[in-house]
């Protein structure tokens, strides 16, 4: 299966790269999940790739995952192994994170609502196959896009694009708490210049949105890997509240989708100007 799709700039490239690691919906035939598909699909960041689809028209590069995050999550570390999911010891290093404790590590043990994802343990070979065919190609594609722009411009700005449930659920660190319209994560100021976080937050607030920073999402593996602001490699995670554009029960777009997409188009235009001003 194809793991990702890359959308290159339609005009002169800018050192601006976006990725959408959780919007994939090509379900592999070997993904024998126990709950119904509509429950498993609650893990998707549905339509995030569409929300940012205008990025290449402004000189940005967009990389989107095609596989579902519930199959293997590209925003987790390769050592974030949930050993409770396996039928044998993992042959490599294992460093479980808080996400693993919640059942949503590299390969999810639990589906939406905390129900088991599988009727049986997975084999080591199954997980290794998912890493080789999905995780590694996606990470290589994002790294290549970022490195290409960095080599050309000596700087790069990376936006890791997600969506989030309107209210924290049992598989989150903030169960029962309503979320802001947007949450920006820079891992407490370590993955990008503070001006980038402030610029994105200010632009969104200027459109009337409520923006939180590092609460409850600080940014996970992709911004950790690529955010090295001292080298002028800047990575920011951006979460948009799903209630702004879809029905969370059915995953169908509602009337707010077009408005949100237009506002994100304006954000991308502003970011393109920001990047030009930093070169």
Closest CA to 58 of 271, 279, 277: 271
Q: What one-character-per-residue DSSP string does the chain give?
A: ---EEEE--SSS--SEEEEETT------TT---SS-HHHHGGGS-TTHHHHTTTGGGGT-EEEEE-S-TTT--TTS-TT---GGGBSS--SS-----HHHHTT-SSS-SB-GGG-BS-SSPBPHHHHHHHIIIIIHHHHHHHHHHHHHHHHHHS-EEEEEEEEE-SB--TTSSSTTPBPPSEEEE-TTTTSS-HHHHHHHHHHHHHTT--EEESSS----HHHHHH-BGGGTEEEEEEEEEGGGTB-TTT--B-THHHHHHHHHHHHHHHHHHHHHHH-
- Please give the Cα distance from 20 to 205 (Å, whole number): 22
Confidence of residue 174 (pLDDT cuts 50, 70, 90): confident
In the numeric block, which tokens belong to residue 189? 């100021």
Q: What is the CA radius of gyration of the chain?
A: 18
Provide mean pLDDT across the span 94-105. Answer: 94
Provide mean pLDDT across the span 233-262. Answer: 97
Cβ-based neighbours of 81, under 8 Å, separated by 6 or more: 90, 92, 94, 96, 100, 105, 106, 107, 127
Its pTM stands at 0.97
Task: Decide if pLDDT at 197 tops 90.
Answer: yes
Q: Beta-carbon neighbour count of residue 129 at 10 Å?
A: 14
Confidence of residue 94 (pLDDT cuts 50, 70, 90): very high
Residue 187: left if φ>0, alpha if ψ -120 to 50, beta else—which one? left
Provide mean pLDDT across the span 119-145. Answer: 98
pLDDT of residue 169: 84
In the numeric block, which tokens belong to residue 229? 């602001």
Provide mean pLDDT across the span 95-104. Answer: 93
Residue boundaries of the structural domains of the chain:
4-278
pLDDT of residue 170: 78
Provide mean pLDDT across the span 18-36. Answer: 97
pLDDT of residue 64: 98
CATH superfamily of 4-278: Zn-dependent exopeptidases (3.40.630.40)
Task: Decide if pLDDT at 176 tops 90.
Answer: no
Task: Decide if pLDDT at 172 tops 90.
Answer: no
Give first-to-last CA distance, the chain, whole Å: 38
Mean pLDDT of the chain: 97
Confidence of residue 6 (pLDDT cuts 50, 70, 90): very high
- Please give the Cα distance from 68 to 54 (Å, whole number): 22
- How far is C-alpha 208 from the chain's CA centre? 24
Task: Decide if pLDDT at 20 tops 90.
Answer: yes
Provide mean pLDDT across the span 238-255. Answer: 97
Provide mean pLDDT across the span 120-128. Answer: 98
How many percent of the chain have pLDDT more than 70? 100
């Amino acid at each position: 299966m194809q793991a990702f799709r890359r959308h290159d700039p339609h005009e002169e490239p800018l050192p601006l790269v976006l990725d959408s690691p959780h919007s994939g919906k090509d379900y592999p035939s070997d993904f024998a999940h126990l709950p119904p598909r509509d429950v498993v699909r609650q893990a998707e960041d549905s339509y995030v790739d569409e929300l940012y689809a205008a990025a290449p028209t402004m000189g940005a590069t967009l990389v989107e995952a095609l596989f579902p995050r519930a199959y293997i999550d590209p925003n987790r570390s390769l050592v974030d192994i949930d050993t409770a999911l396996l039928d044998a010891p993992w042959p490599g290093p294992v460093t479980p994170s808080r996400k693993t404790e919640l059942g949503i590590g590299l390969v999810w043990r639990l589906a939406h609502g905390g129900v088991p994802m599988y009727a049986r343990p997975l084999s080591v070979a199954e997980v290794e196959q998912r890493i080789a065919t999905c995780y590694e190609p996606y990470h290589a594609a994002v790294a290549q896009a970022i490195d290409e722009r960095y080599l050309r411009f000596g700087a790069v700005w990376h936006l890791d694009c997600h969506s989030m449930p309107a209210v924290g659920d049992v598989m989150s660190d903030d169960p029962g708490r309503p979320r802001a319209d947007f949450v920006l994560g820079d891992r407490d100021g370590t993955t990008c210049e503070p001006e980038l976080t402030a610029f994105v937050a200010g632009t969104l607030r200027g459109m009337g949105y409520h923006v939180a920073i590092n609460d409850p999402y600080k940014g996970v593996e992709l911004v950790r890997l690529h955010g090295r602001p001292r080298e002028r490699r800047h990575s920011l995670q951006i979460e948009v509240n799903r209630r702004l554009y879809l029905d969370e029960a059915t995953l169908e777009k509602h009337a707010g989708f077009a408005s949100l997409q237009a506002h994100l188009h304006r954000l991308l235009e502003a970011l393109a100007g920001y990047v030009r001003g930093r070169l």
